[in-house]
Amino acid sequence: MAQSVKVGTLKIKERNLGWKLIIPTIIIIAALIVYPVIYNIYLSFYDVSISPGKSNIFVGLQNYVNVLTDPDFWVSFGKTLAFTLLTVVGSILAGLVVALMMNRNFIGRAFVRALLLLPYITPLIAIVFAWRYIFLPIDGPLIRMLSTVGLIDSGVDLINDPNNAFWVVTIFNVWRNFPFVYLMILSRLQSISKTLYEAAEIDGANAWQKFKNITLPELYFVIGSVALLRGIWNFYKFDEVYLMSKFAGTLPIYIYEKAFLGVPEQGVAAAIATILFVGMMALIGFYVKKVLKW
């Protein structure tokens, strides 16, 4: 009897200790994530005033009606979906190819592996300035080279042209973020047992068959998880896109312009953010259940 009482007391102490350890984290998450989300939803039902002393005006669902009937919203939404799809697929394909190459033994492999991480670890502002210089009209190295061979005119401004800025930003995002994918895939490749490949060779499997039947299945959850993370990050990507070109036309830029430029419509911007939040949460739930099968 005394023994069971001691065990019960110990479990209570462990449970209390667990709560004491996680409460600070819960408070921080609530302060930095939950509260802003709730406040954003609250603002989405108001015509937000930026004038001191003037109260916000409750407009109900009018902000949502304005958003869903705005053609510019749907154009930006389509561009954001395309940007997310292209960058996620592009970075995964690039990361997979590079990881397969870096999983082989060759002289200087450690140096090359470290070098490949530079796009991801270099400060964003530094590489943005470098890329903007490369695409500079007339004097930019890339523009000069392409104009020399007659592919484009030397005066074309790809970054500030709404028709081309989207593609420049997409390529930049793939280049900057593929090292993250490469690192995740490489770490999983190195944990695959060599005996699987040896057994396949004994059965007469060629390189493609080993890749399709051993490598890809082993990488399924890594690639699936990376696709989920990169999809979430890129759908809301603002800093890289805006620094490269404010003419890319994605939704984060559209929200920023609604909230802070011209005549600010912060209630409308909040409504857009709320719509995206609800849609993304539903998509994540479906993806996790159907694709990752967690």
The CATH number given to whatever domain includes residue 265 is 1.10.3720.10
With a cut of 70, which residues of the chain have pLDDT below it?
1-8, 291-294
Q: Is residue 20 part of a domain?
A: no
User: Please, what is the average pLDDT of the chain?
Assistant: 84
Q: Which pLDDT score, from 0 to 100, does residue 54 have?
A: 79
Domain containing 238 equals 65-292
Q: Which pLDDT score, from 0 to 100, does residue 137 have?
A: 80
- Helix ranges (DSSP H) in 135-206: 141-148, 162-189, 194-202
Reference 103, options 1, 198, 192; nearest CA is 192
Q: What is the pLDDT of residues 20-41, one digit of tens each?
A: 788 888 888 777 888 888 888 8
Q: Is residue 171 part of a domain?
A: yes
Reference 266, options 63, 3, 19, 55; nearest CA is 63
Q: Is 287 left (phi over 0), alpha (psi -120 to 50) or beta?
A: alpha
Q: Is residue 69 part of a domain?
A: yes
Q: Which pLDDT score, from 0 to 100, does residue 87 have?
A: 94
Q: Which pLDDT score, from 0 to 100, does residue 172 have?
A: 93
Q: Is residue 252 part of a domain?
A: yes
- Tokens 């943005």 belong to residue: 128
CB neighbourhood size of 158 (10 A): 20
CA separation for the pair 53, 35 (Å, rounded): 23
Question: Helix count (H) and strand count (E) of the chain?
Answer: 15, 2
Whether residue 119 contacts residue 175, with contact meaning beta carbons closer than 8 Å, is answered with: yes
Tokens of 252: 């984060």
Determine phi and psi for 122, rounding to 5 degrees. -70, 140
Q: Which pLDDT score, from 0 to 100, does residue 90 have?
A: 94
CA separation for the pair 172, 240 (Å, rounded): 9
CA separation for the pair 96, 89 (Å, rounded): 10
Q: Which pLDDT score, from 0 to 100, does residue 228 have?
A: 86
Reference 242, options 261, 229, 227; nearest CA is 261
Provide Rg for the chain, Cα atoms. 25
CA separation for the pair 92, 230 (Å, rounded): 9
Reference 133, options 172, 183, 173, 176; nearest CA is 172
Q: Which pLDDT score, from 0 to 100, does residue 265 have?
A: 84
Beta-bridge partners for 46: 58
DSSP 8-class letter at 54: P
pTM of the predicted structure, to 2 decimals: 0.84
Q: Which pLDDT score, from 0 to 100, does residue 136 have?
A: 82
Q: Is residue 209 part of a domain?
A: yes
Q: Is 11 left (phi over 0), alpha (psi -120 to 50) or beta?
A: alpha
Domain count, the chain: 1
Q: Which pLDDT score, from 0 to 100, does residue 174 have?
A: 94
Whether residue 77 contacts residue 67, with contact meaning beta carbons closer than 8 Å, is answered with: no
Q: Is residue 4 part of a domain?
A: no
Task: Provide the greatest CA pair distance for the chain.
Answer: 91
